[in-house]
Structure 1
Amino acid sequence: MAATFDVQPVSRFAGKCPPLKRPQEIAYFSFDDDHKFRLDDSSLKYYYTPEYSHHLPANLCDGFDTFEKHDDSVDEHLDSLLTTIMEMEKADGKRSEVDFITWRGMMTKILTAPFDHFSKFEMNATRFQGTIFIEDFHDAKVADQSRQRSQPARPGAHSQDMMSYWGYKFETLCVMPDTWGETSREYIENRHRHIVSNKAQYCSVVKTGFANSSLIIGGEVDAVQTKKPYDPEIPGSKDRPIPWVELKTSEAIQSDRDVLKFERKLLKFWAQSFLLGVPRVTVGFRTKEGILTHLQNLDVLKIPGQVKNGKGTWDGNSCINFTGALLDFLKKTITSEGVWKIRRVEKSPVIEVFQVETSGHGRILTSEFVNWRQEQIAGEVMQMLR
């Protein structure tokens, strides 16, 4: 029998939220141009606006026929995140004791749930050594993507694949492999001609918290404005905020209805950035035909206030309070190993949690990670017995 958590009425989550600790990067990893895992920052990109390269207006459809698209039909589980945490623990000599370990995508779905009434999700979860690990249920995700792609485009509209490509093309126009001073003028001025690929990624791993729950979250970061502020020679520099930039595209606002649509988009923009401690979203506004016309920079922490003073379609404090309450509920519900489902049906007023396997961890955890953690526990016991 499923345990249920009420999403509605959202009003019960209104009000001030408790003080939040800024997400702090504790580790990172990359996927290279072939989407091979690397325990380094080799895929970190730097932001430089295309406005200074005379690339606007730009046709975001250009290069679609040569797009090098990552095959996302393969279920990657939490593997790369767990490997990164395991290597960090080996270097630090201690376990990461938190309540939850998951991807940013899972937390985005949870954080936006109170106001995204059309959202649906299905996640797998397991409990191990006091931590709940959560991943996407890949089969449901692939089936949903297949249904979306099979829907015919509206007359005169571009395909779903093309519209998804626009975001990657925009990123290519905005990023460089190094800082401006270390990147050639030729590279910067020819970004509009570069082949677009979404295989290479830089992923930040942060420690953060909501109310009574601590989390480690991994997620892709699009770019950084300048060098990361960490300097081994300067005490405390690792705690400084990193000037990340999240890159998004949106249809240009031309009517009152467009304002409403943009506010709803801002919910996801804010949630994704807020979770990893990204301070800025740069939005590339485009026409219906995919012509990039202008850019706007948004301060992530000011987005909820902007919405409140606009149409008021969502409330950031309610999202944060809701997330804290749901995480508390998950800790009280997922109390043993096995595989659990966390599910929300489209338009449903509740989130369901139920167990589908009573033992083991499914494929959520890798055997390498489990063995490492068990070795750590054995070592801790030996230390206590000495």
Structure 2
Amino acid sequence: MFRGISGNVLIFGLVSFLTDVSSEMIYPLLPLFLTTVLGAGPAFLGLIEGVAESTAAFLKLVSGILSDRVRSRKGLVLGGYALSSLARPLVAAATAPSAILAIRFADRVGKGIRTSPRDALIADSTDPAFRGKAFGFHRAMDHAGALVGPLIATLLLAWFVKDLRTVFWLAAIPGFLAVVLIIWKVRETARVRTGDGTFLRIVPHGDLRRFLLILFLFTLGNSSDAFLLLRAGELGVTPARIPLLWAFFHLVKMAGSTPFGALSDRIGRRGVIVVGWGVYALSYGGFALAETEVACWLLFAFYGLFYAMTEGAEKALLADLAPSRERGSAFGWYNFAVGAGALPASLLFGAVWEKAGRVAAFGFGAALAALAAVLLLSLVRAPARE
């Protein structure tokens, strides 16, 4: 099961698990805390998330480029995780909505600093024959944390504590353990740096550039999953069952990420990604036409396969396409493309749904996914792995 999973990849999997446990003990409760305890409205919540995610997307690009120039990628990774782990539990001490904005900003700064260097370090630490499995394993552990975190928060509130602030303080524990693991166990890898006399391209070129542009096109049709939860409510999923549906969704993603990542090692990245984007298109078509709650649950399971098929394979393909000395920059551009496309994607989807109906909105997303799949097969060559 762990063949091809290096020590660094295993530790980063545990770090992501613990970090997501910490984050998801807080994040699902944050809207309730903002509105009922601090008196903020939906518009301010939107401002917080918009600022947070835009900040993270930009810094992922900057930190990726920087990580190719500095001696220690581990230092950037450690700094990013430490900043987020210190900032996140301070939500418990917040007395005004503006404090939440500052805390979420600091949390996302940490995420922006660590993500691209971490992904590059995972690629550097993995035999090319096992990159899909390694990135799939990492995503599986991330999804496991997203599943466990809300369950712990629910258990604490049901049986042990009476207020949200206590839960937020307790969320510091897994975050602290994640930072300790990085300090104790993560090892820097030998690599060629720009400072060693090699030339580094900041802007991607060739197949790598084409892949990133196609990925951005796909992302424009990949709107927030919040719209799927809205659709679930229309199909009869009650508020009490929404958390269960969300946990079920994460379970599917967790279970499938490692096997599909490993499959991309055997049969090629492009084929797995194309099938995954096809699953996305079919899922969106299903959400547009579904009429029952049972259909909604089945569609969420099917849609979870899209994540399982693509998350690990996309990052492995990126690592295959990027020269090792430019890998941090490549992951920076990858994360920036996904982050930069997310906001207009949701705005487009919402506008189309409002003006032309849900069938047109889901159809738009499905069409862009299908187009991206065709372009990936047509314009990006299967790379020779280093």
Asked if TM exceeds 0.5, the reply is no
The structure with the largest alpha-carbon Rg is: 1
TM superposition score normalised by structure 2:
0.23
Structure with the bigger percentage of strand: 1
* TM-score, reference length from structure 1: 0.23
